[in-house]
Chains A and B, each alone.
Chain A
């Protein structure tokens, strides 16, 4: 069993206890409403997301380490170890739309989708993932071709516990996989409205999302870029990057998606596979309720040495929509709460005096 202080994080940050799936708040908005409970939950979640997207939000770098770039005055400063931070514990999460590039090939022939519709679809996916990542306090490190790289971890109170970093990455991954269902429902509806029902039932015409996670316990946060001269003043232009094998490995994992998909039973197969590396597996210590499947080995030779890393996957079909809170994740892992209990303190009750009875 792994000791974790996740409860003290949950205690201070109730978003990790909100018992309502944020994907509904993001993709259903406030329009589809089944009950007043749902409506209040959607307001609450949207409030959190809106705050995240206005408060110092940026894409690229990492807000906790972006100050490193400001320390750069000259080219040599990029190499100065004092301008770098080592041993940062991060989870790297890589999300990618599978086989999305090819969609634009068919704009003219057979012309079912327009280029605007394809762009709209991608924008919807990317913006949804950004909102989800921010809801769980992940940082958007970069927007890639058809995907996103998210870093979870840093210097904030919520980053203090390494298992919690992994659990937050897991929650983002599940929500991202759920987004495939919503986006495909919308895509199917569009095809039906265009009178192309037969295409709506063929999974090759639908969206699929690949998600990979790896844990990087010894990341180097270092500024990268160049010095530019603006009106005689030298200024660094670039961003702070996370450097570690594990950081980039989350993207490499996605190359094994097809191997994992072949092993899935039932359909649809989209939005189900979460790929991860051995460091993440070790960090999370999933219990027997979760079927972690060994997939392959990543092996490379250099300097007369061979290095190998194991790859795993899990089928998230039964986990999606059921794992909502951080405590839900804890129930699926060999983890116990090691948060410090409240200390004896001098009591000062904040209740306004009023008659209350029961």
Chain B
């Protein structure tokens, strides 16, 4: 390590850098002259070099250190580290992409990357490899978070530029540096910015959006009933308003927007601002400023709020999937289908969540005694904001409305009722799945009007040499271990290996995903055999013909 850093130091010194302390070099780029009239001074911090990427700070442009107003608006790949006063912001140069400890990443390399960064900025010609997506110049490092939705952003886009709109935003009551806590009766903007402790506390800001159910839910889950409220100003800047630093942004707002006549009761001013970003796309920033800034009586002070938004992902499984049985396996399938952004999931299960289900089901203890289908639908709706995607239904409704059914009911009798009675003449595909004790053998069978029936599969097991062998191997392996655990009442419960149950659920969802994309299946049945200590299952798949011995063929 020492050799590494000493080599780098020597190279940097050769390039005109001097060391202000053991690990911090200070120097000029380019070493002599300028690029299109620009030269910069930087510091390069080599803490934990080479494992940690050197931190490069822009110190001066053309010999001047007032970077907060001097950085040209078209410069890119700069991070602003702000500490309440934007005049004191520190600007980090992002030019060492995908850093790792390599011998060729030496002092000369670091210098050349800084040189290239400056050259790209002053000529606006970026090498695509260096123009990687990066944080914008505005700061991201803060404990405070504002949650926005696509709907909110769309509404904001419709606002007239330069007009101040207002919205209520809920958040945790402020805590002060003095240790005191804000009153719930008083609006959040009525406190001095400098009194609020943003360093030791986490604040979550949730706009009041009654038309968006997800915001009502996160407000309830995150803030509860005892939350505070602030009036935020919402502003869209005209497309020609360009800035790079926070100071430049605040100056644009103060000089161009009518904010002089705000109520004197407002001691801090929260903003949500939409502007045109580097690449011509709309971007949004949020922050809280001090009153003095608005009145022009003091330095700008600013507390940035990081913005997080909920993605509106496209539908991943474009099907209505009916799940008959949402026990151990079915609930995992439902949970994955929600995460796969399935168009619609219909859940059917007459059973209630029992004590022995806990730890073997997606639902936890707070749903004990609840009907599994209803509780699961509610749980997944709320956790993943899928309000219209999940419905608890009966078997018949699921069969009627679904494009495809997944049957994971708990026992043979229930399977038989569905396979040879309720769904006997069913015209849509059905995925049947079950598992043995300890999940040693997991089986998925897909029946369609063009395949054999479930009983044809049972017949095939008797005649197909590979299937026969797999069943025998499984039988031998199952025998070696206890298959059931008995509760205090003496009731037996089949033992499951949950990681394998989740695996089986992933396979069912993969089959559904493929069917959604291609309208067909890759196979009609698949077996996964796991020896008790196996980590990787052995799969075997095949196609299911109508078996001549099966009763469906008159056999």
Show the binding face of A for B, using Cβ within 8 Å.
7, 10-15, 17-20, 36-37, 40, 44, 325, 327-328, 331, 337, 339, 341-343, 345-358
What's the least CB distance linking B419 to chain A, in Å? 8
Q: How far is the CA of A10 from the CA of B544 in the complex (A)?
A: 10
Contact indicator B433/A358 (Cβ below 8 Å): yes
As a 0/1 sequence over residues 389 to 420 of chain B, the CB contacts with chain A under 8 angstroms (1 = contact) are: 00000000000000000001111100110001
The A contact surface, by secondary structure, is: loop
- Cβ-defined contact, A350 with B549, below 8 A: yes
Bound-complex Cα distance A343 to B424 (A): 10
Measured CA separation A348–B555 after assembly (Å): 9
A355 touches B494 (CB 8 A): yes
Contact across chains for A356 and B551 when beta carbons are under 8 A apart: no
Residue contact A357 to B410, C-beta cutoff 8 Å: yes
**Cβ–Cβ contact B459 & A19, under 8 A:** no
The answer to whether A358 touches B546, judged by C-beta atoms less than 8 angstroms apart, is: no
Q: How many A-B residue pairs have CB under 8 A?
A: 109
Q: CA A176 – CA B140 in complex, angstroms? A: 59
| In the bound complex, CA of A25 to CA of B314 (Å) | 36
- In the complex, are the beta carbons of B471 and A352 less than 8 A apart? yes
Complex CA distance for A343 and B425, rounded to whole angstroms: 9
Nearest CB in chain B: distance from A17 CB, A:
6
CB-based contact B521/A349 at 8 Å? no
User: Which among A36, A348, A358 is the interface contact of B408 at CB below 8 angstroms?
Assistant: A358
Chain B 418-436 near chain A by CB (<8 Å), digits 1 or 0: 0010001100000001111
B520 A325 Cβ-Cβ under 8 A: yes
Chain A residue with Cβ nearest B547: A350
Residue among A341, A351, A358 with max Cβ neighbours from chain B (10 Å): A358
Residues on B with beta carbons closer than 8 Å to the beta carbon of A342: 424-425, 453, 552
Contact of A327 with B520 in the complex, beta carbons under 8 Å? yes
17 pairs, A vs B, C-beta closer than 8 Å: A14-B545, A19-B523, A37-B522, A40-B539, A325-B520, A327-B450, A327-B520, A328-B520, A337-B449, A349-B458, A356-B411, A356-B434, A356-B436, A357-B327, A357-B328, A357-B411, A358-B330
Contacts of A337 in B (CB 8 A): 449
A17-B436 in contact (CB<8A)? no
- Check A14/B451 contact, CB under 8 A, given A19-B520, A342-B424, A348-B551: yes
Set of chain A residues within 8 Å of B524, measured between Cβ atoms? 14, 17
Cβ contact within 8 Å between A355 and B551: no
- Residues A355 and B416 in contact, CB atoms below 8 Å apart: no
Cβ contact within 8 Å between B539 and A14: no
Residue of B nearest to A12 (CB): B546
In the assembled complex, B139 has its CB within 8 A of some CB on chain A: no
B420, B433, B450, B461: the one contacting A17 at CB < 8 Å is B450
The answer to whether B434 and A358 touch across the interface, beta carbons within 8 angstroms, is: yes
Contact of A11 among B450, B461, B519 (CB under 8 A): B450
CA distance A187 to B416 in the complex (A): 56
Where the two chains meet, the residues of B that have a C-beta atom closer than 8 Å to any C-beta of A are 325, 327-330, 408-412, 415-416, 420, 424-425, 433-437, 443, 449-453, 455, 458-459, 461-462, 471, 475, 483, 494, 496, 519-524, 539-546, 549-552, 554
Decide: A350 near B450, CB < 8 A? Known: A345-B554, A356-B436, A357-B435.
no
Give the shortest distance, in Å, between A21 (CB) and chain B (any CB): 12
Complex CA–CA separation, A76 to B451 (angstroms): 49
Q: Is the CB of A355 within 8 A of B483?
A: yes
Known: A343-B554, A347-B420, A350-B458. A358 touches B325 (CB 8 A): yes
**Minimum CB–CB distance for B27 against chain A, Å:** 52
Known: A14-B543, A341-B425. 9 other contacts (CB 8 A): A11-B450, A44-B543, A339-B449, A347-B551, A349-B420, A350-B462, A354-B436, A358-B330, A358-B435
Option from A14, A40, A339 in Cβ contact (under 8 Å) with B544: A14
Question: Are A350 and B459 also in contact (CB < 8 A) when A357-B328, A358-B330, A358-B435 are?
Answer: yes
Which A residues touch B554, using CB under 8 A? 343, 345
Closest residue of B by beta carbon distance from A19: B522
B455: A residues at CB distance < 8 A: 349-351
Q: Considering the chains assembled together, what is the distance between the CA atoms of A19 and B328 in angstroms?
A: 31
A339 to chain B, nearest CB (A): 8
**What separation, in Å, do the CA atoms of A287 and B455 have in the docked complex?**
36
A357 to B450, Cβ gap below 8 A? no
Complex Cα spacing A345 to B424, Å: 11
Contact A351 B412, CB 8 Å, known A342-B424, A358-B330, A358-B435: yes
- Measured CB to CB, the nearest residue on chain B to A345 is B551
Among B433, B450, B452, find the residue whose CB has the most chain A CB atoms closer than 10 A.
B450
Question: How far is B450's CA from A341's CA once the two chains are assembled, in angstroms?
Answer: 11
Q: Which residue of B lies closest to A353 (CB)?
A: B412
Tell me whether B545 and A11 are in contact (CB under 8 A): yes
> Whole-angstrom distance between the alpha carbons of A37 and B539 in the complex?
9
Q: Are B451 and A17 in contact (CB under 8 A)?
A: yes
Q: Which residues of A contact B420 (CB under 8 A)?
A: 347, 349
Q: Contacts A327-B520, A357-B494 given; indicate if A13 touches B410 (C-beta within 8 A).
A: no
Closest A-B pairs by Cβ, 10 of them: A14-B543, A358-B408, A350-B458, A356-B434, A358-B329, A10-B450, A351-B458, A11-B546, A14-B545, A350-B459
